[in-house]
Structure 1
Amino acid sequence: MVQIWVDADACPVVVKEILFRAAERTGIMVTLVANKLLRVPPSPHIRALQVPGGFDVTDKEIVQKLEAGDLVITADIPLAAEVIAKGGHALNPRGEMYDKGSIGERLAMRHFMEDLRNSGVELGGPASFSQSDRQAFAAALDRFIQQHLPKNQGNSS
């Protein structure tokens, strides 16, 4: 059975809420992984896993536990690349599904931007999370669930 893993340290609250509703509606297991204590609603389909603090500890835990076919919610490009290499799927909180074709480009752009920042160029941060981002995420999640959930499980709406 496919599971959903969430890189939860920086995941927007609204994305977590969408995931909680999807877990209840479909019965798919959603696991939030973070290095801080997380509150999740009581449900047999939702759990939180706290890992020790440290560089990439959350990422390593997700990669270690995920199975081929699982979905990982993350904005972390290197984590998404590892997930794809292991046969998983990666979706960012703004609704972009990473794949073998796009992840290489995203990694190259990330390295380029990091080089610019290291040379002193001020780039600013990402745009604030918008209603259209929320809708794009919900739509991408629904498409994934419809494609990967057994037809006799849950009810898609």
Structure 2
Amino acid sequence: MGILVDADACPVKDEIYRVAQRYAVPVTVVSNSPLRVPPDPLVRRILVSDGFDAADDWIAAAAAPGMVCVTADILLADRCLKAGAAVLAPTGKPFTTASIGHAVATRAIMADLRANGDVVGGPPPFGKADRSRFLSALDEVLVRLRRSGHG
């Protein structure tokens, strides 16, 4: 069992560290740029090249059953789900095999709209409720994985 973090723009890294420490679960923080991580033997930092999708490729290769991937990237979430990992967005929304197809399709439609110059709003600002939802969702996923024999 472990947690993989798509870290460059992740707003819940501190929350991940706290929950991981409570459950004694290793965390791998993957980024294209140097990030500070706590001096904790459970936390490992992986610095990948700044190549396109280098962090995503590393995370997708490491994703497996018993792992939790934290990312807002829908295409990475899809790859991690296909590898058997549990996937959470930083807002606490779980990506599932039942929901990922719709998310990928919506992403493609929004990309087309933006490419055609249509004004399309982004996600709402990240807030306290998102942070709280994430903490609860991560706790829930780790408990479920542990009960299923992954921890």
Residue 10 of structure 2 is matched in structure 1 by 11
The CA deviation string for residues 95-121 of structure 1, in whole angstroms up to 9 with x for no partner, is: 100111100000000000001001100
Q: Quick one: distance in 2 between partners of 1:150 and 1:45?
A: 21
Alignment match, 1:86: 83
Q: TM-score, normalised by structure 2?
A: 0.94
Q: Alpha-carbon deviation of 1:66?
A: 2.2
After the TM superposition, which residues 4-153 of structure 1 pair with which residues of structure 2 at under 5 Å, given as runs?
A: 4-12=3-11, 15-149=12-146
What TM-score do you get using the length of structure 1 for normalisation?
0.91
C-alpha distance in structure 1 between counterparts of 2:16 and 2:147, whole Å = 18
Q: Contact 2:19–2:135 (CA<8 Å) still a contact in 1?
A: no
- Cα shift at 1:79: 0.3
State the alpha-carbon separation in 1 of the partners of residues 64 and 102 from structure 2. 24
Structure 2 residues not aligned, in runs of 5+:
none
Per the TM alignment, residue 58 of structure 1 is displaced from its structure 2 partner at its CA by: 0.3
Displacement of 1:149 after TM fit? 2.3
Runs (4+) of structure 1 exceeding 6 A deviation are none
Structure 2 counterpart SS, 1:42:
coil
Q: Which amino acid aligns with 2:10?
A: C
Give the count of matched residue pairs: 149
* Cα displacement (A) at 1:150: 5.5
Q: Which segments of 5 or more consecutive residues in structure 1 lack a partner in the other structure?
A: none
Deviations 1:108-141 (A, max 9, x none): 0000000100110011322111110001101100
RMSD: 1.4
Identity of aligned residues (%): 42
Q: Equivalents in 2 of 1:69, 1:41: separation in Å?
A: 23
